[in-house]
Structure 1
Amino acid sequence: MKRRTLLKLAAGSAALSGLSPVSLVVAAPLKELRLDYAYYSPVSLVLRRFGWLEEEFKADGVQVRWVLSAGSNRALEYLNANSIDIGSSAGLAALLAKANGNPIKTPYIFSRPEWTALVVRKDSPIRTVADLKGKKVAATKGTDPYLFLLRSLQTAGLKRGDIEHVGLQHADGRAALEQGKVDAWAGLDPHMAASELESGSKLIYRNVAFNTYGFLNVREDFLATRPAEVARVIKAYERARTWVRANPSEAARILSEEAKVSLPVALLQVKLRSDFSNPQPGSEHVKALQVAAPILKEEALVKADTDLNRAIAELVDTRFAQPYITRA
């Protein structure tokens, strides 16, 4: 059969199955699976601790390599650089990356957390978002806390230029706040919970609706050429997620040991600030991004002509994980 005929048949089969032609390419056997783990994703810590992915791929001779992500910005950088295949980030951070050319898709949601808020020292005179005008505020660019900060400023009629932004990674932001080097910090758990419980830091502004979901992102080419392997990863994530829901105190203990934070801090993050009930990407997540997306243009974080609705549609994969989700 001629090559042209084969290609036509492949394209036709792809259209019928809803997959792109590239997904029909027979890839060489996978030798290494690269993914991140993060303290802001307790599910990833549980999955890594119990070795369920290693168990899943052992018979195939696939090595599993774990890379620590210190924040959404790092996970998304690793994905864009092809240093990992699968990485965890906040939803709005993933959209920002996608809109700026990072070739990723999100087929799975690992949590709905309230993992960020605006934080000041226990003795700070700052009481409201409006009080931040002219102040030094630490936040990690390209992450949910940074975007949370920008959206929070809007509630008080302020913009990024009305504060002095200090770009620090999350752990460094906590240290800078407690050492008096900045006036406020857009925190991230577990660092934020630790500062609150151990140093008496105060959360002056909370808004769970401004905390976008925990997105498990996959490089587009990896998802297209290795859908079976991605499905197996999602099934392993589901095993870990259902375990966390059934064993929140034990999950907190694992977080405590991995992140080197106290058990009360870990319990605050896992039990009170994380919802692990809905891993299926859907209209809830799309709408949350549509509501949040305007901040990206208003603060010139994407090009003015960027079609954010299209970027959202291309990012959130609402179909892939359906067969693998554990129904509660």
Structure 2
Amino acid sequence: MTVNLARHIAPTAVALAMLIAALVAWRNWSPPAPAEPLTLAVAASALGAPLLVADRQGFLAAEGVQSNLLHYPTGKSALDAMLNGEAEVATVAETPIMFAGLAGKPLRVIANISSSTEHAVVARADRGIRERSDLRGRRIGVALGTTAHYFIHALLTDQGLDESAVELVDLPVREQAEALAAGRVDAVATFPPYSTECRRALGERARIFPAGIRYAGYGSLVVAPDLVERRPEVLARLLRAVDHAIGWMRANPEEARAIAAEAIGIDSTVLEETWDSSRLGLELGQGFLVLLNAEARWAIAAGLVPGAAVPNYLDLIDTSALARLRPDVVTLIQLR
């Protein structure tokens, strides 16, 4: 009798325990936060690759971000879109940020997502350009206001030349390969994937002068100041998604290149040549601030922004979102 009673009680007790656990879980359960819409202006280069991967691989969706990606040929045009209200976030390198700061434009850098030495001058060897010093007196195509503009300044300075020693031609990046092949310019200062396109357009006639240690730029996530104040949670979600994407890209470089190439609209082999020149990773460090100030002094001395003064670029950097996620990578010295 006792054994039979125990046989009936045991299953009942288990069922009761499961019911109680389910009730406790139900009381503690809260529905997932609704997806936050976010419009992102992404540069068509390796600079924007972490955002492209975060979107394609579902990292943004997993963090509750309903992403709307808008594609632009350069970080400068992506930043312009953000400043014009067409997007809320932009991927952009430091030179357009520097110019925006000199112009008093409202923006906040919330993280750097990469650094690179991917810039290069692609020159026509058949016009006698064999060494960097042979650039004197030449027509050099460059997208003015981009990192390539500052890069050509740095390269010329290394040769004891200034910009007056050459003729800089403002040339959109998507027109550079054709212009170089047609002979409308003698050389082009640019960045991937356009540097690879220029080299391929010339074939054996190409002479390449890479940046090397002369110039290492930064890729950043930039937002409007009011977004930091109004929607701090969506920025936290964005950075978590980008952090996941960067980790995935490191583990899956070939797949990451394929995703970026498809989104940009180029062959993946175009990205392959320069992919490893970019160092991916979230950070905000002092080197970024130093470079912004150095470029601002160059822009003012070159007369590119008459009447401007170097601003306090710390005012354009907001560390709050990144410091909550990865305090170890925020090494910016907060000096005023």
TM-score clears 0.5: yes
Post-superposition shift, 1:31?
A: 6.9
Aligned to 2:50: 43
Post-superposition shift, 1:303?
A: 4.1
Q: Hey, what's the Cα distance between the residues in 2 that align with 1:269 and 1:254? A: 15
State the SS of the aligned residue for 2:208: strand
Q: 1:162 to 1:213 in 2, by over 3 A?
A: same
Asked if 1:313 is matched to 2:320, the reply is no
Aligned to 1:295: 298
State the SS of the aligned residue for 1:88: strand
The 10-residue stretch of structure 1 (142-151 or 120-129) with the greater mean CA deviation from structure 2: 120-129
The 10-residue stretch of structure 1 (207-216 or 78-87) with the greater mean CA deviation from structure 2: 207-216
Post-superposition shift, 1:78?
A: 0.8
Q: Hey, what's the Cα distance between the residues in 1 that align with 2:127 and 2:245? A: 40
Aligned to 1:323: 324
Aligned to 2:119: 116
Asked if 1:80 is matched to 2:80, the reply is no
Post-superposition shift, 1:292?
A: 3.4
Gaps of 5+ in 2: 1-33, 330-336
Q: Hey, what's the Cα distance between the residues in 2 that align with 1:31 and 1:233? A: 10
State the SS of the aligned residue for 1:165: strand
Post-superposition shift, 1:213?
A: 0.5
**Which of 237, 240, 244 is the equivalent residue of 2:242?**
237
Letter of the structure 2 residue corresponding to residue 216 of structure 1: L
The equivalences for 1:99-114 within 5 A come to: 99-114=102-117
State the SS of the aligned residue for 1:213: strand
Aligned to 1:202: 207
Aligned to 1:269: 274
State the SS of the aligned residue for 2:122: strand
Aligned to 1:19: none
**Which of 198, 210, 229 is the equivalent residue of 1:224?**
229
Aligned to 1:143: 146
Post-superposition shift, 1:91?
A: 1.2
Asked if 1:52 is matched to 2:59, the reply is yes
Aligned to 1:253: 258
Q: 1:209 to 1:323 in 2, by over 3 A?
A: farther
Aligned to 2:18: none
For residues 223-281 of structure 1, give each alpha carbon's deviation from its aligned partner in whole angstroms, at most 9, with x where no partner exists: 222111111111111111111111112111222323343333222222x21111x4111
Aligned to 1:34: 39
Post-superposition shift, 1:163?
A: 2.1
Post-superposition shift, 1:326?
A: 9.5
Q: 1:318 to 1:124 in 2, by over 3 A?
A: farther
Q: 1:65 to 1:145 in 2, by over 3 A?
A: same
Q: 1:208 to 1:197 in 2, by over 3 A?
A: farther
State the SS of the aligned residue for 2:292: helix
State the SS of the aligned residue for 2:67: strand
Larger Rg: 2
- 8 Å CA contact 1:38–1:44 kept in 2: the answer is no
Asked if 1:68 is matched to 2:75, the reply is no
RMSD value, Cα:
2.5
State the SS of the aligned residue for 2:128: coil
Aligned to 2:17: none
Q: Number of matched residues?
A: 292
Asked if 1:162 is matched to 2:192, the reply is no
Q: Hey, what's the Cα distance between the residues in 1 that align with 2:272 and 2:323? A: 30
Post-superposition shift, 1:199?
A: 4.0
State the SS of the aligned residue for 1:138: strand
Q: Hey, what's the Cα distance between the residues in 2 that align with 1:327 and 1:103? A: 27
Gaps of 5+ in 1: 1-28
Q: Hey, what's the Cα distance between the residues in 2 that align with 1:123 and 1:262? A: 27
State the SS of the aligned residue for 2:241: helix
Q: Hey, what's the Cα distance between the residues in 2 that align with 1:81 and 1:227? A: 21
Post-superposition shift, 1:174?
A: 2.0
Q: Hey, what's the Cα distance between the residues in 1 that align with 2:327 and 2:208? A: 35
Aligned to 1:5: none
Q: Hey, what's the Cα distance between the residues in 1 that align with 2:64 and 2:71? A: 20
Aligned to 1:20: none
- 8 Å CA contact 1:280–1:318 kept in 2: the answer is no
- 8 Å CA contact 1:296–1:302 kept in 2: the answer is yes
For residues 186-237 of structure 1, give each alpha carbon's deviation from its aligned partner in whole angstroms, at most 9, with x where no partner exists: 1210121233356433222524442320011111111222111111111111
- 8 Å CA contact 1:174–1:187 kept in 2: the answer is no
The 10-residue stretch of structure 1 (280-289 or 142-151) with the greater mean CA deviation from structure 2: 280-289
TM-score (norm 1): 0.80
Q: 1:43 to 1:124 in 2, by over 3 A?
A: farther
State the SS of the aligned residue for 1:321: helix
